[in-house]
Structure 1
Amino acid sequence: MTERLFTETLPAAVGEDLLSTRLSTDVVFADLGAETVRPLLTFDALNDILSRCALEPPRLRLHREGAPVPPARYTDAGTGSGADRSVIRPDGLYRELRGGASLVLDAVDRLHAPVQEATDDLMRLVRERAQVNLYLIWGDSHGFDTHWDDHDTFVVQVEGTKSWKVHGPGSRPHPMKVDSDHGHTPPEGTVWEGVLSPGHVLHVPRGWWHTVAGTGDVSMHLTFGFTRATGIDWARSLLERLYDVDFFRTDLPRFGSAEERRKHRHELVRRLADAAEQHDLDGFLDEHDSRFPRRQSFALPWAVDGTAPQAGTQVEFVPILPPPLQREDGRVAVTVSGKRYRLPAAAEPVLAELARKPHTTAGELADDSGTPLETTAAVLQALVRHQLVLLR
């Protein structure tokens, strides 16, 4: 099932050491089977997305032989709500695809529920934000030249075949999107080579160069991309803490003597080292998780009219990462997307059960948490107002 694709199906296929020893450090290949990934995206679903959603460049775009295809070749000028916009022209899109162009659609996880479910599952696995882009091509052309990505990826082949060569890390280890050097070069040779077919999954670490080309057939794959926290993020978090230190808010002695500037710098270094010693990685990662974004979602009419859920009402817990529960003065508190919520103590078993089983019904939630249905319904009414649950 797509909602357990990364946390259960993939580790079962490649080994439980995926996170501890292989993620971001090695190529990982798995054959999960075509039927396993088929629910993610089909051509019928893609046609529906293209028909219903007002997509336009650059979110939907075409590339050929390493260069973007001018949008004027497959779009028309149009208007929407009084604003100028581009409208995808089907005949132009078909013509460019027949000519070897590659279609790229960004953030398809925001457009199609099965892909969103798999993306949320990946985020629970790696505890980082993720986005999914779609790549579609016919023939033996390629959309991009040999390149590296500034994020880790899991490539999931859903239709047809595509040829991959992974060359490994280049002359600059762990390159970043915002970096001081983008002039690094690819390595010689290839560390992994193969043709992906439906059901195949390939993990390519950040900064690893790769070459991708069509095989003469159709190819449609999803690239699940995520950016992991680095020492730069830890240092940036440390910098934010320095605002609470009086000495760091003090003006630098620009017009003092050289000795005064030397002493001031020495004191800055000492206090910076003290602050760094106190800023441990576990605390930083806990804070990182507490700021993890939730999916944008809506719960009308429940969140407005306050209707009490019934036993059969469907309940979905909104936080992607289950937040830890903390007791405070006879209440229970959770932090989601950087915001802290304090609820009556009666909510604790309900929240704990939602964290364990985010998709349920109000009746099952009451039974599983050992909370009376009336109390469970009252807790859910509070949670839906705070955008912590969806009710259907």
Structure 2
Amino acid sequence: MTKLASQFGRALSAELGPDFSTHQVSNDVVFRHLNPSLLSDCFSWGGLNEILSRGSAVPADFFLCAQGKRLPEHQYKTSLDGHQVFDLPRVFALMRSGATLIIDSLDRIHPGVRAATDDVMRITGETAACNLFVTFDDAQAFDSHFDEVDTFVVQLLGTKHWKVHGPSEEFPLPEYGDSDPVNCPETTLFEKTLVPGDVIHVPRGWWHTVRGGGETSLHLTFTFTRRTGYDWLRWAARQALSRAEIRESLDRNASPEAHQAQLERIIEAFLGEAKDLPLSDFFAAERRAAGGRGLASLPWDVSRARPSEHDVVELAPVLPPLIHVAGDQVIITAKDQEFALPAQHHPTIEALITARRLTVAQLAAQAGTPVAAVSALVVALLQCQLVTVSHAGPTHQDIQ
């Protein structure tokens, strides 16, 4: 695994240990406690105030919930110069009345949360996102419910009371599952008031009841979506497109006997292809398609000037790309594309994938390559959107 980006990610990975991914993920409630000071890079009141002061959280999704329902936007937004913006006095009044503020996909707009979310993807190997919940007193945003994704819940500030009840059905999906609160099991498997630094893993489909702990609460929920048999079936169906029986038009007006015959041909063709499609091929295809967030690296994106030895280069794909040497070339596979570079750059690329983020001079030293050659390589990788470049200086991340 490439080096983790955030203090939170490194601490969480160390606390979870190898047993989590082997035995506990999706199967058990897992409780851990991190040093609250390690969460300072993730989010704070200052980060929230900055978002609210902008008047918009786009492209993240900002909303308020109370008593299990999402409140209509007209209750807390107003029009300004043709744009919908937060009406802060109304937002605060609704929160004083018991509404919970929620920002879905906070990782899209906040660098510290983005770094932590990317680390969750590196730890789990799955697609992840992060949502913020802000609660005062003992407010409750949702009735008892389950999520169709696995989660890490991280208490940043204040307290939040959690009850986890377990599942009422196996492996629900957004496309399949009954989340009516009447189905919530009565048994409580885990109950705790979370304090800053507390982290719990709640498996997909496990019901939970959550309310404020009687004071202010900020918590982040990192969701990660594990692949299922349904995902494999959709992928396998695409692989079977080479078979004419799969591409053939369905005969709407045929007889029942003809319909059955065509159905049997389709099933036989699909099974003929699917039996030779192991799960390892599916995971390998996902890895080849993995990319990054498409972050900007101005001025280099436009000027294409070579970065200096003090500038910082960072691997853009969240998961490390696949690389192999073929003759006199090193091939990098990411975003469903292959990028061929002279094989002499192999040590530099390996060093970058391992370290993930370092200065040009540090990369050159680790690869045993001249700074000028590394700087030229970075320009080529930047054009392929495989790295980002930034000026050296203090950031929310370490440059170790």
Paired residues of 2:34 and 2:198 also in contact (CA < 8 A)? yes
- Would the alpha carbon gap of residues 381 and 56 (structure 1) be closer, same or farther in structure 2, given more than 3 Å must change? closer
Bigger shift: residues 23-32 or 252-261: 252-261
Q: How far is the alpha carbon of 1:386 from its aligned partner?
A: 1.3
Q: How far is the alpha carbon of 1:53 from its aligned partner?
A: 5.8
Bigger shift: residues 224-233 or 321-330: 321-330
1:261 and 1:164 mapped to 2: Cα distance?
53
2:320 and 2:206 mapped to 1: Cα distance?
32
Q: How far is the alpha carbon of 1:126 from its aligned partner?
A: 1.1
Is 1:3 matched up with 2:6? yes
Bigger shift: residues 173-182 or 193-202: 173-182
- Would the alpha carbon gap of residues 115 and 258 (structure 1) be closer, same or farther in structure 2, given more than 3 Å must change? closer
Give percent identity, aligned residues only.
Answer: 35
Q: How far is the alpha carbon of 1:87 from its aligned partner?
A: 1.4
Q: In structure 2, which of residues 305, 313, 333 is the aligned counterpart of residue 307 of structure 1?
A: 305
Bigger shift: residues 354-363 or 271-280: 271-280
Paired residues of 2:287 and 2:322 also in contact (CA < 8 A)? no
Q: In structure 1, which of residues 144, 158, 176 is the aligned counterpart of residue 173 of structure 2?
A: 176
Question: Which residue of 2 is the match for residue 343 of structure 1?
Answer: 341
Paired residues of 1:56 and 1:87 also in contact (CA < 8 A)? no
Matched pairs, number = 386
Matches within 5 A, 1:41-56: 41-52=43-54, 54-55=56-57
Paired residues of 1:127 and 1:289 also in contact (CA < 8 A)? no
Paired residues of 2:317 and 2:334 also in contact (CA < 8 A)? yes
Secondary structure in structure 2 of the residue aligned to 1:120:
helix
Paired residues of 1:4 and 1:121 also in contact (CA < 8 A)? no
Secondary structure in structure 2 of the residue aligned to 1:278:
coil
Letter in structure 2 aligned against 1:352: E
Paired residues of 2:60 and 2:109 also in contact (CA < 8 A)? no
Paired residues of 2:315 and 2:387 also in contact (CA < 8 A)? yes
Question: Which residue of 1 is the match for residue 273 of structure 2?
Answer: 275
- Cα displacement string for residues 266-307 of structure 1 (whole angstroms, at most 9, x for unaligned residues): 443333222111111011001112222411201112122221
> Is there any run of 5+ residues in structure 2 with no aligned partner, and where?
391-400
- Cα displacement string for residues 136-176 of structure 1 (whole angstroms, at most 9, x for unaligned residues): 01111211110111111101000100100001111x21111
Q: How far is the alpha carbon of 1:263 from its aligned partner?
A: 5.4
Is 1:198 matched up with 2:196? yes
Letter in structure 1 aligned against 2:112: P
Secondary structure in structure 1 of the residue aligned to 2:322:
coil
Bigger shift: residues 89-98 or 148-157: 89-98
Paired residues of 2:30 and 2:202 also in contact (CA < 8 A)? yes
Q: In structure 2, which of residues 219, 229, 232 is the aligned counterpart of residue 231 of structure 1?
A: 229
2:46 and 2:258 mapped to 1: Cα distance?
71
Question: Which residue of 1 is the match for residue 126 of structure 2?
Answer: 128
1:12 and 1:357 mapped to 2: Cα distance?
18
Paired residues of 2:155 and 2:196 also in contact (CA < 8 A)? yes
2:174 and 2:362 mapped to 1: Cα distance?
45
Secondary structure in structure 2 of the residue aligned to 1:341:
strand
Bigger shift: residues 358-367 or 254-263: 254-263
Paired residues of 1:55 and 1:88 also in contact (CA < 8 A)? no
> Is there any run of 5+ residues in structure 1 with no aligned partner, and where?
none
Question: Which residue of 2 is the match for residue 37 of structure 1?
Answer: 39
Normalised to the residue count of structure 2, the TM-score between the two structures is 0.90
Q: In structure 1, which of residues 66, 70, 73 is the aligned counterpart of residue 72 of structure 2?
A: 70
Q: In structure 2, which of residues 21, 27, 35 is the aligned counterpart of residue 25 of structure 1?
A: 27
Q: How far is the alpha carbon of 1:347 from its aligned partner?
A: 2.4
Question: Which residue of 2 is the match for residue 139 of structure 1?
Answer: 137
Secondary structure in structure 2 of the residue aligned to 1:15:
helix
- Cα displacement string for residues 17-62 of structure 1 (whole angstroms, at most 9, x for unaligned residues): 0101001111011111221223311112221222236237982111
